Each structure stands twice: as C-alpha cells, then as structure tokens.
Structure 1
Amino acid sequence: MRQAPPEPASSSWAAVFSLAVGVFGLLTAEYLPASLLTPIASDLGISEAVAGQAVTVTAVAAMLSGLLTASLTRKIDRRVVLLGFTVLLIVSNVLVATAANVVVLMLMRILLGIALGGFWSMAAAAAMRLVPAASVPRAISIIFSGIAVATIVAVPLGSYLGELTGWRSTFLAAAALGVVTLVFQLCTLPRMAPHGSARLGTLWKVLRRPGFGVGIVGMLLVHIGHYALFTYIRPALENLMHVHVSQLAVLLFVFGVANFVGTLAAGWLLQTSLRLTLVLTPTVMGVAALGFALLPLGQAGYIVLLVLWGLAFGGVSVAWSNWATRMVPDQAESAGGLVVVGVQSAIAGGAAAGGVMFGMGGAVTVFTVSGVVLLASASLILLRVRAPRHAGTV
C-alpha cells in the first residue's frame, strides 16, 4: 500500500498563492535574457550567441535540479527547501545584475536553474500538503498560472525596463520581486515535514511503476508537439496570416492571455475528469495546428485557432503535474522531478525537430507534422495512460 502524505485539516490558500508568485518570479528571471540579449552582449563584450547560452545553462541546471532535489533534500523541512530556492532566485538576479564578465553571468544563471528546477519539481507535491485532496487540482492550477503570467509579462516588460533603465536594473527589479516573494512565503508557508524516503534510485523505481513510464512518453509527445510549433509561431503567423510586425505583439499577447485562462480553467476541469483533460488538451492543439496548415480560414479563423491553442496548452502543465501526484502520491516530489526533466527535454527536442521540419518545408510542414504528433499523443493517452481519480492509495 502506497500512501500520500497526510491530508491537511484546512486549506492554506495564501500559501498556494505564495508558491504561484514564486513560480512567476523564477520563470520571469528565466525568460529575461531573451529580451535583453543585445545590451547584455554589448556590455560584457561578447556575441549575442554566447549571451543566449544564459538561457541554455539555466535549462540544463533546471533538469539536473529537478532530478536531484527530492533525494538531496529528503531530510529537510519542505518549507525550508522552498524558501531556500527563493533565496537562490534573489542571489542569482543580484549577482547577474553586477556581473563583470560572462563567467559570473553563466554561474549565476546556473544558480537560477537550480532554484527553478527544484521549486518546480516540488510545487505539485507541496500543493498536496496545503489543501485537502479535493482542492489539489485547483491549487496546482493556481500555482502553475505563474508560468502563464510570466510568459505574458516577462519578455515585453524586460524589453521595456531594459530600454528605460538598462539591463542590470531589470535584473535588480527581478531580485526585488524575489524579496517580496520571500516575505510572502515566510508569512504563509507552514512547516512541512519531509515525507517518504526519496533517493537517486527512487527515480528509477518511480519510472517503473505500472503505467508511469507510458504516461511520461505521452507527456513528452505532447510537449514536443507544442514546442515544435511554438518555436516557429512568429514565421507561421507572418506566412499564414500575413500579419505585420506591429500586429504580432498583439497576437502573442492574445495567445498568452488564452494560455493563462486555460491554466485556471484546467483546475476546474481536472476536478471533473483527469483523463478528459489529458486527452482533450493535445486533441485541441492538434486540430488547431492542422487547421493552421491545411484550412484557408482567413485572419478571423486563424485567431480563433490561436486562442484555442493557447487555452489548450494552458492546461497541459497543470494536468500532467496532477497526473504525476495521483500516480505516485507517496513519491510526488520524485515524480515532479521526472516531469520537469521531461518538459525541459521536450523543449529542446521540440525546438530541434521543428527546426529540421521548418528547413524542409516551412511553417506548413511544422504545423502539419506537429498536429499529427499531438493527435497521436492524444490517442496514446486515451488508450494506454492510467488516470487515477484521486491522490491516495494507488
């Protein structure tokens, strides 16, 4: 019998919102270099290609941190661990803002990756400790709404602040957000004694649990299909919708808002059916992708598809984090680490695959192949992936 951690007697929604702010701060810091590459490169005397590796090293460090956090911190109060990651966020941003050379920049971005991967891997498991089981899907959707908000805000806000006050001041502002987050978490997060006995070998044991491995494959396919599309969303919108550069920002903002709404809506849909959510999200994304590639809909029709895509992807992270905690409630943190690694790997793999397809046949090929992959993943999930109704005994 494998049991979840003890269910809390009451809900700590303020703590849930503090974790959402933490996710927002971490993802905002991760995305900032994308809007500040040129001034960073100019100031440090490096190429933009080298400056861009600040994103790469963060992602690699996040993957490793997601894998190792549960085992390396297995005897430490989870409140202390989460607060520690927020402290790393603050330190990373302050030292990036004062970096005199590229070595310091990269080391501090690695520090951010450690905080990002560790915090993300523990977020769903922490939700299980903060609210009763029936409210866990909604809590996870609130926590992961921080990702959607960061997607909307980080790049345009970073670009604006960078022009207004310089790139270093932008990272100091991100550090200030981290300080606010730390105070919020100090005031709201309860003590959470470690549960379970996660070790490095636990990851392999979790992966071998009945139904977990095939679920991870389904999750990978969904994320690969999405990131192959999303990496080339700009040329797709330009070529298929024939929009001007000035309209792109508006369309990307619309996509981001739809993504945010989808994240919150997923919390309620998951309380109805986890299986429905897992199958519906890639199905809608796949249909939208094929609609972009194959149907002459006109701008209004393409905008509808863009909104549907954003809404559907908003539920993906929430659904799979819920799935992981329900499948292995006794090792939810290790399961969360595997989800983080899967997502980060899919980002790299999807972008690479999308590049090959884009080179072969442009945006139409990317959207067609990705649409097929997404619909295939929906079929795999429907036929082979287990979807427990509740976290608890599996």
Structure 2
Amino acid sequence: MSTTTVQYAAPRRQVWSAVGSMALCVAMLIASEFMPVSLLTPIAHDLGATEGMTGQAISISGLFAVLTSLFIPSIAGRLDRRLVLMGLTILMLASLVLIAEAPSFAILMTARAVLGITVGGFWSLSTATVMRLVPQKSVPKALSILYTGNAVATAFAAPIGSLLGGIIGWRGVFWALVPVVLLNLVWQWVSLPAMRPDAPNPVGKVFGLLKRPHVAWAMLAVMLTFGGAFTIFTYLRPFLETYTQVTVPQLSLLLLGLGLAGFAGTYGAGALLERRLNTLLRLLPLALAAVTLVLIAVGHTLWAVAPVMIAWGALQSAIPVSWSTWLTKGISDEAESGGGLMIAAIQLAIMLGAEFGGVLLDHFSIGTTFGGGAALLILASLVVGGRGRISPR
C-alpha cells in the first residue's frame, strides 16, 4: 500500500500544528548534529583530541543514522507513528545531556551515536509522515514548512554556537538546546495525532529499490554530492582560523552569512525545480566545487572570503531541496522506503566525508581537505550526467 494515500482524521489546526512541531524537531536535529562544526576547536582542546578526531563526532552520528534509516521503516510499520516520533525526540534529548556532560572523547562519541539514531529515524519518516498528515494538495506547503526548520537551523546554529561557545563554553551551548527540545516534546504530545500501525516495510524493500537503474545512479550521485560537501563543511572552522586567521566574532559573522545565504539558495532552487531539476542536480555540485577552489585561492584575505562563503552557503543549501524533490518524482510509489534509502545514502556520505576530511586534515593540510571535497563534487556532477540516467523509465 502506498504511504501517500493514508490520511489521519484530525482537526485542520491540529494537523498544521503537528507539522510545525516536526519542523522544530528538524531544526533541533540539524542544530544538534552539526553544532560541533562551529565548536570543533574548543571541544578538541577540552577532550584532548585532535580536530580531525573531533570531526569524527559527525561521522559516528552518520553511521548510526545510516543503520537506523534502513531499519526504521520496518520498525515504525508495527507501532503508532506518533509514539515512534516522540521516542526519537526523547533520544535526542538524552544525547544532548550526554554531550554536555561528556568527561571523555569516548562518551562524546557514544552520545553522538545516540543522536544518530534520532537523525536517521526522524528524517526517514518525516516526509512520509507529512504526506499522511495533510491532503495531497497541501504536501508541498507542509514540506516547505518542514524544510524551513532546516534552513533556520542551518542559518543560525553555527554562528550562535560559535558566539555562545566563547561566552558560556561549548558544554553550555548544548545545555541551552535541552529546554527547547523539552518544549518540542510537549508540542508533539499535544499536536501529533495517533497514527495506527501500518503494513511494515521489510528492509529488503529498501534495498530492492536499488535494482531500479535510475535509483542506483541517483544514490551514487547523492553520496558523492553530500560526501564532497561535508568533507568541506565539517572543517570550515579550522580553515577560517588557520588560513584566514579570523577572530571568534568574525567567525560567527562568516558562518551567519553562510547560513543566511541558505534561504536564498533554497528559494532560488525552488523556483527552478519544476523545469530544471536534472540541470540543478548536475550543476550544483560542479558550482560548489568551483567556489571551494576559489575559497582556497582567496583564503588569506578576509574581505574576499566573505562573499565566497555566502556563495558557498547558497549553493550548498539548494542541494538537499533538489534531491528531496527528485525523491517525490523518482520513487513516488515507495515514499517511505525511498526516504529511508535516501537518508541512509546521505548520512553514509556525511560520515565518510567527515572521515575523509579528517584524515586529509591530520596527515596533510586543510587545503588538501578542501581539494579532496571538490574532487568528490566534480565526480557527482559526472555521475548525474544527462537527463535519462536518474529519471524513472
């Protein structure tokens, strides 16, 4: 049975409140998952690790997100979806407390693994859940609300984390997220309607989608695109501190500019998605690679770095919107299994990208790290290729 055809009886106001609670959860997930990017240096110093090792905190959450995203459709199909989503939010809350209190690098990694379970589970179920909550004609609006949470967190989490980290310490930053997640949990309890168990989606169905040639090519392109982007994004702070030699306030402003540019990137991609989706999926990684190489070239000059960072943020933010739109067209008959597969591919790419970047940073240089990320992005563009390769037949 297609997940897109199931609707749940609930008052209109409650339904949109439920979508809002999911958008806030998305914002908290993004903030929690990528906050270490803006706090990489102080976390490393406090826990006696290298910056490359600390970057693996993103890798470990990605690993557990991959595993969860593959198995969650089967598990969720046997339970009330409302309870599943709330359970995942409780896990996010527990991970934040563990991170804030982590006495060692090992505990930090354990907490990030718990967070990865929430990331993989919630993201895998979010699109299919929205498609069940609202009428079909309202799905684009609901998804745009969901991704607004993503855009807000991307815009403000890193600069606020960097700024607050200098005032209350990196542990204080994670403690500051705890009451917001508690509020989100209460909002979910009040607004999410009961969603009866549905027919489970076996894990084999998720992997079975790879038998479709256009899906297999698309997942390879997804992995190269996100892997390249996060090889670079994870280590922006070390680059800005060593190449550009910014102060903490300057770092916060640069990250804010990068994040705010995401709104423009998301809007710009949205205007082109209907008519130029394949072109966007092919050209966005290529353009991001070019901007990255420019960033290396001008990295020693603050006034030149600022506009390049803005361009980087705009391009990067358009990528997930474009691939999410591809999902609604390329695997529309299996929204839940397709969502699990795509989130697994994205999170595996984030994990490997952070790992790849960390190895290059520790053994070579930050310039080599960015160059490696750019190479992956160029390969992604080549894999997308012409119109037919990732289009359903």
Deviation at 1:267, TM superposition (A): 4.0
Distance 1:123 1:289 in 2: 31
Q: How do 1:231-270 residues align onto structure 2 when only pairs under 5 Å count?
A: 231-234=234-237, 242=244, 244-245=246-247, 247-270=250-273
Contact kept in structure 2, 1:86 and 1:115, CA below 8 Å:
yes
Distance 2:301 2:43 in 1: 38
Distance 2:29 2:71 in 1: 18
Q: Which residue of 1 aligns with 2:123?
A: 120
Q: Which residue of 2 aligns with 1:391?
A: none
Q: Which residue of 2 aligns with 1:19?
A: 22
Return closer, same or farther for 1:214/1:294 CA change in 2, 3 Å cut-off: same
Using the size of structure 1 for normalisation, the TM-score is 0.79
Post-superposition Cα deviations, 1:160-193, rounded to whole Å, max 9, x if no partner, equal 5566556665444322111211222233333444
Q: Aligned letter for 2:335?
A: A
Q: Which residue of 1 aligns with 2:282?
A: 279
SS of structure 2 residue aligned to 1:5: helix
Please identify, of 119-128 and 349-358, the stretch whose mean Cα deviation from structure 2 is larger: 349-358
Deviation at 1:287, TM superposition (A): 3.2
Return closer, same or farther for 1:192/1:343 CA change in 2, 3 Å cut-off: same
Post-superposition Cα deviations, 1:216-270, rounded to whole Å, max 9, x if no partner, equal 0111111122123324435655787x56435333222211211243235444443
- Count matched residues: 384
Return closer, same or farther for 1:102/1:237 CA change in 2, 3 Å cut-off: closer
Contact kept in structure 2, 1:93 and 1:175, CA below 8 Å:
yes
Distance 2:102 2:372 in 1: 42
Distance 1:228 1:332 in 2: 29
Distance 2:368 2:241 in 1: 15
Of all paired residues, the percent bearing the same amino acid is 35
Deviation at 1:205, TM superposition (A): 0.7
Deviation at 1:375, TM superposition (A): 3.7
Contact kept in structure 2, 1:290 and 1:371, CA below 8 Å:
yes
Distance 1:211 1:368 in 2: 29
Distance 1:100 1:175 in 2: 18
Please identify, of 320-329 and 287-296, the stretch whose mean Cα deviation from structure 2 is larger: 287-296
Q: Which residue of 2 aligns with 1:64?
A: 67
SS of structure 2 residue aligned to 1:76: coil
Q: Aligned letter for 1:259?
A: G
Distance 1:369 1:111 in 2: 29
Return closer, same or farther for 1:263/1:19 CA change in 2, 3 Å cut-off: farther
Q: Which residue of 1 aligns with 2:5?
A: 6
Post-superposition Cα deviations, 1:340-366, rounded to whole Å, max 9, x if no partner, equal 222222223334444566689856655
Contact kept in structure 1, 2:100 and 2:175, CA below 8 Å:
yes
Is 2:223 the partner of 1:220?
Answer: yes
Of residues 378, 387, 390 in structure 2, which corresponds to 1:386? 390
Distance 1:361 1:37 in 2: 18
Q: Aligned letter for 2:338?
A: A
Distance 1:39 1:244 in 2: 18
Using the size of structure 2 for normalisation, the TM-score is 0.79
Q: Which residue of 2 aligns with 1:153?
A: 156
Please identify, of 114-123 and 341-350, the stretch whose mean Cα deviation from structure 2 is larger: 341-350
Q: Which residue of 1 aligns with 2:32?
A: 29
Q: Which residue of 2 aligns with 1:202?
A: 205
Structure 2 unmatched runs, 5+: none
Distance 1:147 1:254 in 2: 16
Please identify, of 172-181 and 273-282, the stretch whose mean Cα deviation from structure 2 is larger: 273-282
Return closer, same or farther for 1:279/1:67 CA change in 2, 3 Å cut-off: same
Distance 2:357 2:43 in 1: 28
Please identify, of 352-361 and 74-83, the stretch whose mean Cα deviation from structure 2 is larger: 352-361
Contact kept in structure 1, 2:162 and 2:252, CA below 8 Å:
no
Post-superposition Cα deviations, 1:33-55, rounded to whole Å, max 9, x if no partner, equal 5638857985xxx5345877655
Please identify, of 123-132 and 65-74, the stretch whose mean Cα deviation from structure 2 is larger: 123-132
Q: Which residue of 1 aligns with 2:189?
A: 186
Distance 1:197 1:326 in 2: 23
Return closer, same or farther for 1:172/1:308 CA change in 2, 3 Å cut-off: closer
Post-superposition Cα deviations, 1:37-93, rounded to whole Å, max 9, x if no partner, equal 857985xxx534587765554332222212211112212232221122112222333
Distance 1:349 1:293 in 2: 22
Distance 1:365 1:101 in 2: 29
Distance 1:139 1:385 in 2: 29
Contact kept in structure 2, 1:138 and 1:267, CA below 8 Å:
no
Q: Aligned letter for 1:5?
A: T
Of residues 344, 350, 359 in structure 2, which corresponds to 1:341? 344
Q: How do 1:70-81 residues align onto structure 2 when only pairs under 5 Å count?
A: 70-81=73-84
Structure 1 unmatched runs, 5+: 389-393
Return closer, same or farther for 1:99/1:284 CA change in 2, 3 Å cut-off: closer
Contact kept in structure 1, 2:4 and 2:335, CA below 8 Å:
no
Distance 2:102 2:298 in 1: 50
Q: Alignment RMSD, CA only?
A: 3.9
Q: How do 1:80-91 residues align onto structure 2 when only pairs under 5 Å count?
A: 80-91=83-94
Distance 2:331 2:166 in 1: 47
